Amino acid sequence: MDSMMTTDEASAASSALQKKAQFIYATLIEHFGKPIFQGGDDPVHQLISTILSANTNDVNSDRAFEQLRQAFGDDWEAVRTAPLDAIKAAVRPAGMYNQKAPAIVATLERIKHDRGVYNLDHLALLPVQEARTYLTALPGVGFKTASIVMLFCFNGAAFPVDTHIQRISQRTGVSPRRANPDKIMRIWEGLLPPATFYALHINLIRHGRRICHAQTPRCDLCPLQSICDYRQQAGEWAT
């Protein structure tokens, strides 16, 4: 909040932002339906897959992960001990394989050292901030990756922010126009209860892919246009 605001003004602004977040959550459910968490993915699989997804698209990262599994099966010990060139060859479709392959090996080494096995199920028992701190200490793992693992594996109280969510958050005024993903993550986590995070995350991505495009947003079709700064202040956004 603006440091020049009075306490009452700051409280009113916070309340208005919370109402906007609630409106977005409810409206997207009405528009797209409510995604239901069906049970968690394996956290080590999710972690490695997300490391591969950095700076590439889903098609390329999925192909790289599938090639890694074809080469080594589900044997993370085989991946950890394999020649680095073999791992680079497997994950090459994801790009940046010279960085991602060593990060995968180092991450597996850390997990094996800490846990004795390739298993991260203990994270479900930790407070989300403690779990996120553990994950971000692993090589190649940032806040977004850690939050993805917590949300999609444990339905945890974490809200990962991708480019779609960042764009929509900025355009609707939920976040400042130049807020980075980590700040946007903290804003959403402070506005809504954790029980909403899974459905909201999925629906914001759907909205970004189908309607709120980066270059040519389909504003006339947007169910959020009544509360969207971008829609209402187009001239300012063009500068």
Distance CA 54, CA 101 (A): 12
Mean pLDDT of 210-218: 95
Cβ count near 192 (within 10 Å): 17
CATH 2.40.30.30 fits 24-35+160-237, yes or no: no
- DSSP letter (8 states) at residue 123: G
Mean pLDDT of 147-171: 95
Mean pLDDT of 214-236: 88
Distance CA 34, CA 29 (A): 5
- Which class would CATH give 43-154? mainly alpha
What angle (nearest 5°) sits at the alpha carbon of residue 112, between those of residues 109 and 116?
160
pLDDT at 199 exceeding the cut of 60: yes
Mean pLDDT of 71-100: 94
Give the pLDDT of residue 13: 75
Ranges of H-type helices in the chain: 7-32, 43-53, 58-72, 76-81, 84-91, 97-115, 128-136, 143-154, 163-172, 181-191, 197-210, 229-232, 234-237
Give the pLDDT of residue 239: 44
Give the pLDDT of residue 74: 85
Tell me which H or E stretch contains 222. Answer: none
Cβ count near 40 (within 10 Å): 17
In the chain, list all ranges with CATH 1.10.340.30. Answer: 43-154
Give percent above pLDDT 70 in the chain. 94
- DSSP letter (8 states) at residue 5: S
Q: Which two tokens stand for residue 199?
A: 């459905």
Distance CA 62, CA 29 (A): 27
Distance CA 63, CA 69 (A): 10
Q: Which two tokens stand for residue 130?
A: 């403690």
> What's this model's pTM, rounded to 2 decimal places?
0.87
What angle (nearest 5°) sits at the alpha carbon of residue 122, between those of residues 158 and 182?
25
Q: Tell me the C-alpha to C-alpha distance, in Å, between residue 152 and each of 18, 24, 93.
A: 24, 21, 24
Radius of gyration of the chain (CA): 20
In the chain, list all ranges with CATH 1.10.1670.10. Answer: 24-35+160-237
